[in-house]
Amino acid sequence: MHEETKNGHGGSSVDKRMSLKDAVSRFIIDGDALYYGGFQTMVPMAITHEMIRQRKKDLSVFCTTTDVGGLDLLVSAGCVREMHLAWSMNWFARGSHGIRRAFQQEALKRYDLSNFAATSALMAGFFGIPFMAVRGNIGTDLVKYNQQDLRVIDDPFTGEKITLVRSWRADVGIIHAQRADPAGNIVSWGTRSSPDEFGAMGSKRGVIVTVEEIVAPEVVRSDPDRTLIPFYKTLAVVHCPWGAHPSACMGYYGQDIRFCEYQGEYQRNERLLHHFFEKWVDGCPDHEAYLQKYVQQFGTESLERLKPKRGFRPVLDVHYTYHDPAVWLDIPPFADEYIGGQE
């Protein structure tokens, strides 16, 4: 462990790698507001399972849109008090059954808005400003029932009506990505759909990330355009292959549709759901155990099937270059009859 600097940041040489268990127990506190990353790809499923294992409670969640049913499991496990989002679903279970039940039982407060309002709320958090103007939502029940996030005002410049969405700043962001270095430079490509860069950067304490692979800092710095979140914003880096399963991770695996359906059947049937938790969450000490159980039950071929077969690698040859080295090479300044030249 490196010595910390006065402001608490250890710079880019601090090793933030740790176990999933440690990351969740050290950095997620009961009552926290979370940014929940991903959409149908890059859903932080392994972190979700660990939060359930640790019985985190009274969480509030900021999210744009979420598929695959991770957030739905978190709600069914009693971890979530309120959620602000545009859409929740397990598409292959044709519903978000746990969230539906929790709302009906008044165990969950749900604040709805549109996708673009949600991304704008996260953008406002990213910008560090209190709200953002958006075109949608006005005139609908979204504004009527979600005054916590949405207000309609008269535009002070034109006098026309416009909707404002308040800034969302979570305490902690939880996301999954392809790669990171030990200090927490998080590398991602192929789109994640939801604006995880805004959600994570806008989080007050920082972000917990699970990644498919850990790479050396030199690898990240060889192509810094791919860094989604720079190291200083990262709290914990967890090496966790298949950490987004059953959602997709571009370049590593596609969505596991059969598992989404299987999990969805448990989510649909409240009386069966505890079996899912016992078997796949509490019955697994960590994500590796979850994967072992998966292979035992469904075979290695079910995971192999999800690996990319029809993908491709970019052919665009990228090269990072420097400015004119004139100064260091003693090239004399340009001159003509009006500008510069020898006095």
Partner 1 sequence: MANHYRSTEQMVIRCAKEIIDGEVVFAGVGLPLLVVCFAMRTHARRITLLTEGGSVRGTAPAGLAITVDDPVLFASGDATFGMTGAMAALQRGEVDLTFISGAQIDRFGNINSTGVGNWEKPKTFTYFAGSGGANDMATSGKRGLVIIPQDPKKFVERVDYLTSPGFMGGAGHRESMGMLGGGPAVVVSTMGVYRFDAGSREMYLAEYFSGQSVEKVRSFCSFDLSVSRHVKETESPTEEELTLLRELDPKGFYLS
- Tell me the backbone φ, ψ of residue 134, rounded to 5 degrees: -135, 155
129 binds partner 1 (CB under 8 A): no
CA 308/CA 49 separation, integer angstroms: 25
Quickly tell me which residue has 């790809």 as its tokens: 41
Contact assessment for residue 58 and residue 31, using Cβ atoms and an 8 Å cutoff: yes
- What is the distance between the alpha carbons of residues 223 and 178, in angstroms, rounded to a whole number? 14
Q: Which is nearer to partner 1, 18 or 200 (CB)?
A: 200
- Give the sign of the dihedral formed by CA 87, CA 88, CA 89, CA 94: negative
* CB contact set of 315 (below 8 Å; sequence gap of 6+): none
Residues 208-247 that bind partner 1 (CB under 8 A): none
CA–CA dist 259, 252 (Å, integer): 17
Amino acid letter for position 166: R
Which of 9, 26, 55, 161 lies at the binding interface for partner 1 (CB under 8 A)? 161
Stretch that binds partner 1, among 10-18, 155-163, 204-212, 288-296 (CB under 8 A): 155-163
> Rounded to the nearest whole angstrom, what is the least distance from the CB of residue 246 to partner 1 in the complex?
13
Q: Which of 11, 31, 128, 190 binds partner 1 (CB under 8 A)?
A: 190
Query: Of 103, 262, 277, 298, which one interacts with partner 1 (CB under 8 A)?
Result: 103
Query: Are residues 35 and 199 in contact, defined by beta-carbon separation less than 8 angstroms?
Result: yes
Dihedral angle of Cα 276, 278, 283, 285, to the nearest 10 degrees: 90
Q: How far is the CB of 4 from partner 1 (least distance, A)?
A: 34
Contacting partner 1 (CB under 8 A), which of 71, 89, 164, 211? 89
Q: Report the alpha-carbon distance of residue 49 to residue 83 in Å, rounded.
A: 18
Which of 10, 136, 217, 283: binder of partner 1 (CB under 8 A)?
136
**Binding segment for partner 1 among 3-11, 18-26, 63-71, 327-335 (CB under 8 A)?**
63-71
Contact between 291 and partner 1 (CB under 8 A)?
no
Binding site for partner 1 (CB under 8 A): 39-41, 64-65, 67, 85-89, 91, 95-96, 99-100, 103-106, 110, 112-117, 119-120, 123, 134-142, 145, 160-162, 190-195, 198, 248, 250, 254, 257, 310-312
